[in-house]
Amino acid sequence: MTRHIIFVTGTRADFGKLEPLVVAARDAGFRVSLFVTGMHMMDRYGLTKIEAHRVTGVEVFDYINQRADDPQDLVLSKTILGFSDFVCEHKPDLVVIHGDRVEALACALVCATNYIRCAHIEGGEVSGTIDEIFRHCNTKLSSCHFVSSERAKSRVQALGEPEDTVFVIGSPELDTHRRPSGVTIEQVRQRYDIPFGEYGIVVFHPVTSEADTIGAQARSMFQTLQASGKNFVVIAPNNDPGSRDIFAVLESLPKNQFRIIPSMRFTYFSELMKNAAAVIGNSSAGVREAPFVGVPSLDVGTRQNNRSDAASITHVDAFDTKAVAEFLESRWGIAFDVDEGFGLGNSADRFVEVLRNESFWTRSMQKEFQD
């Protein structure tokens, strides 16, 4: 019997992490399906469901779970309804969710209430805001855990999860960064109409617990970037509450200095980052991926609090314009040693190694708190 694995993806970011695992599971002989929802289905964010449909040898199912500006509790309920019907029809042996998004929480709830085996990727991380609440909820709802580090494993166990259900594989997106992207930086510039020779990458997302100030935070940061005279490639924010305020700031930026892109193919983003002078903002890319490729990053605000202490990262308050300017002056373009705090870039191999062990599939689904 060929076991059926469903991977849930709701954003361009989690797809970049899941794709190496999807391909490895497919190549290992499993039947693989993708349940594609969330931001992937929205024109404003680049209609990135296209990326999922490019993966060959897997089944892809699209589900629209929201309209623009839907509150997160409504998105949660819509996703529960849709995914419940989906798993009833397709009867997976394993559902794989990632991280801290509301779509992952919805699917984990469906799995828990229907005794469907559920694997959580990158649990045990800390960051603050509602993301961390969702992430730890996903840990408790899931039956097994593929984490990025020993520190993350310790946190998952502190939540009462048995040690033999927690597997350290590293961060899957590093698998893509470790190997050649397959494109040149000139091809990236041409595809995305990037006119700059030297540039920084900026990704600034909403922080749901700071929705009332997130627009002011973005305005303060981007004004300092603009004053530097340097050039920047800006990736649009995700669709959490507060994104409208960030978009309003982006729309006011001079186009000859800021190239704003809704989304990028992950291999192209990888090549763009490897050649960047800096990564700036509050995306996990700045604290996990940039250190792995040796690019300096400026972590702005609270969204990635306590996520990483890599030497290439500078942490600043969102309104500390002096610190932002100092970073641009002193760290721009400096090459750092590779940081392996989130893995070696071999997560997919480790993932499949676990799946090939029969004990993974026969462990009881009844959860017990491990003191």
Domain CATH number, residue 319: 3.40.50.2000
Cα separations in angstroms, 287 against 278, 292, 313 = 12, 9, 7
Is the same domain home to 22 and 149?
yes
Is the same domain home to 97 and 196?
no
Q: Kindly tell me the burial class for residue 189, based on how many C-beta atoms sit within 10 Å of its own C-beta (0-12, 13-18, 19 or more).
A: buried
Cα dihedral across residues 259, 16, 53, 104: positive or negative: negative
Q: Please tell me the predicted confidence (pLDDT) of residue 332.
A: 98
User: What's the N-to-C CA distance of the chain in angstroms?
Assistant: 36
Is the same domain home to 211 and 80?
no
The domain containing residue 112 runs over which residues? 4-171+343-362
Is the same domain home to 40 and 108?
yes
Q: Is residue 338 part of a domain?
A: no
Residues ≥6 apart with Cβ < 8 Å to 14: 98, 99, 101, 104
pLDDT (tens digit, 9 = 90+) per residue, 277-324? 999 999 999 999 999 999 999 999 999 988 898 999 999 999 999 999
Q: Determine which helix (DSSP H) or strand (DSSP E) holds 194, and give its type and residue range.
A: none
Domain count, the chain: 2
For residue 179, count other CB atoms closer than 10 A to its CB.
12
Is the same domain home to 296 and 354?
no
Is the same domain home to 224 and 310?
yes
Is the same domain home to 158 and 291?
no
Which ranges of the chain have pLDDT less than 70? 128
CB-CB contact of 143 with 311 (8 Å): no
Q: What are φ and ψ of residue 35, in 5° steps?
A: -100, 110
Q: Please tell me the predicted confidence (pLDDT) of residue 128.
A: 66
Is the same domain home to 34 and 164?
yes
Q: Closest by alpha carbon to 63, among 89, 37, 81, 95?
A: 37
Q: Please tell me the predicted confidence (pLDDT) of residue 324.
A: 98
pTM greater than 0.85 (yes/no): yes
As a whole number of angstroms, the distance between CA 123 and CA 137 comes to 10
What are residue 159's DSSP bridge partners?
A: none
CB-CB contact of 37 with 65 (8 Å): yes
